[in-house]
Structure 1
Amino acid sequence: MSSWETGRFVYLLLLGGVLVLWFFIENRDSLSTKIKQLSAWALIFLGVIAGIGLWGDIRQTVQPRQAVFADQGRIELPLAPDGHYYVTLDLNGEPTRFVVDTGASAVVLTQRDAERAGIDAGTLAFYSQAMTANGAVKTAPVTLDRVALGPFVDRNMPAFVNAGEMDTSLLGMTYLQRFHRIEISGGRLVLER
């Protein structure tokens, strides 16, 4: 626990102690009823604290995820809270999260995702260049042996590994153009082959 968190915890304990003391002094006539009420408020307080602490897990559980309709040849991606569409692809046997980027001409991997997919970062030659919103970056061309999204499997997919820092790999047009239909409607991105 950091010193800042410890300070907050001590502050909350002191504040709670003062409130409990005031509660007992103010209501000393009917003490048993007040203890029941205090217990109810304590449980409410603990429930709120637990809800705040578990909010990230709760949000991941109720948040819509990508849906694969293999019999219809369709993938549906929900709009994320940050306004982007994310998809998880299987790269050479490793699940990898991408942001769908129709402004990117190619599939661009972070160095971390490339290594997870079995690409040796030490052998990469960053001789090509890509123009991004932040300027020019060095990239290394690679070939992904197997890329799978639900029932759709592509082999020998060209991609690039970014030499710079990126949070998430980009799923660009070299992959997206393999679908015969791309539609954004009602907060969902639909891909069909």
Structure 2
Amino acid sequence: MDTNSWMNLAYLVLLLVAVGGWMLVQNRDRLGKMAQQAAVWVLIFVGVIAGIGLWDDVRRTVTPTQSVVQGGSIAVPRAPDGHYYLTAEVNGTPIRFMVDTGASDIVLTQKDAAHVGLDLDELVYNRRALSANGEVGIAPVILDAVALGPVQGNNVRAVVNGGEMRQSLLGMRYLQQFSKIEIGDGALLLTP
């Protein structure tokens, strides 16, 4: 530590001694109660410091995120609900997808379709699809660009779901652009 740091530390210790001394003098007839309250505040302070120190671990557990590993592969950790979620850029906009090996195409929610610049009023829901929620109308669209790590495509076919859907889906037609798809050790690994 340099001289300036030592001086700051000395100032803080002196300030703590002055405030602590004042509290002792003011509460000399209630020292037991004061010690109890001080212990509570120390525990609160330690708890806050521990929470700040562990926040990155907690965040990774609650909301795991994808990462690019050696060789350009993308590792997607399994979320607490058992699914795999990743973020791809669609028309330059980051969109969070659920990986769905049961879906053929990229399926966008209406909200995500609007985010990537599609005009919802111009969509024609002229096709039907069977989903977990029953039969829904879907509108075929062409996305200008879809990028997921090193795999990038232009004029990518997709559909917009006309029904209720919480999450956009990344289907097999796009995933097949990766040379290998592996699931193991609590992660999905996409190798270009």
Residue 65 of structure 1 corresponds to which residue in structure 2? 65
Residue 179 of structure 1 corresponds to which residue in structure 2? 178
Confirm whether residue 86 of structure 1 aligns to residue 51 of structure 2.
no
Alpha carbons of 1:51 and 1:101: their partners in 2 closer, same or farther (altered >3 Å)?
farther
| Paired residue secondary structure (2:112) | helix
Whole-angstrom CA distance in 2 between matches of 1:72 and 1:91: 23
Whole-angstrom CA distance in 2 between matches of 1:153 and 1:138: 28
Residue 73 of structure 2 corresponds to which residue in structure 1? 74
Residue 189 of structure 1 corresponds to which residue in structure 2? 188
The AA in structure 2 aligned to 1:168 is Q
Residue 170 of structure 1 corresponds to which residue in structure 2? 169
The number of aligned residues is 162
Q: CA deviation at 1:184?
A: 0.4
Residue 136 of structure 2 corresponds to which residue in structure 1? 137
| Paired residue secondary structure (2:183) | strand
Alpha carbons of 1:51 and 1:138: their partners in 2 closer, same or farther (altered >3 Å)?
farther
Whole-angstrom CA distance in 2 between matches of 1:114 and 1:183: 29
1:3-37 residue CA offsets vs partner (Å, 9 max, x unmatched): xxxxxxxxxxxxxxxxxxxxxxxxxxx73133122
Indicate conservation of the 8 Å contact 2:142/2:157, yes or no: yes
Alpha carbons of 1:57 and 1:74: their partners in 2 closer, same or farther (altered >3 Å)?
closer
Confirm whether residue 95 of structure 1 aligns to residue 94 of structure 2.
yes
Whole-angstrom CA distance in 2 between matches of 1:171 and 1:149: 11
Residue 20 of structure 2 corresponds to which residue in structure 1? none
1:49-78 residue CA offsets vs partner (Å, 9 max, x unmatched): 9989xx998733565421113x61311101
The AA in structure 2 aligned to 1:133 is A
Alpha carbons of 1:115 and 1:51: their partners in 2 closer, same or farther (altered >3 Å)?
farther
Whole-angstrom CA distance in 1 between matches of 2:139 and 2:152: 23
Residue 26 of structure 1 corresponds to which residue in structure 2? none
Provide the TM-score with structure 2 as the length reference. Answer: 0.75
Question: What is the CA RMSD across the aligned residues, in angstroms?
Answer: 2.7
Indicate conservation of the 8 Å contact 2:151/2:178, yes or no: no
Identical counterparts, % of pairs: 47
Whole-angstrom CA distance in 2 between matches of 1:164 and 1:49: 44
Residue 158 of structure 1 corresponds to which residue in structure 2? 157
Residue 12 of structure 1 corresponds to which residue in structure 2? none
Please, which runs of 5 or more residues in structure 2 have no aligned partner? 1-28
Alpha carbons of 1:47 and 1:132: their partners in 2 closer, same or farther (altered >3 Å)?
farther
Q: CA deviation at 1:143?
A: 0.7
Please, which runs of 5 or more residues in structure 1 have no aligned partner? 1-29
Residue 127 of structure 2 corresponds to which residue in structure 1? 128
Whole-angstrom CA distance in 1 between matches of 2:55 and 2:123: 37
Provide the TM-score with structure 1 as the length reference. Answer: 0.74
The AA in structure 2 aligned to 1:60 is R
Larger radius of gyration: 2
The AA in structure 2 aligned to 1:190 is L
| Paired residue secondary structure (1:144) | strand
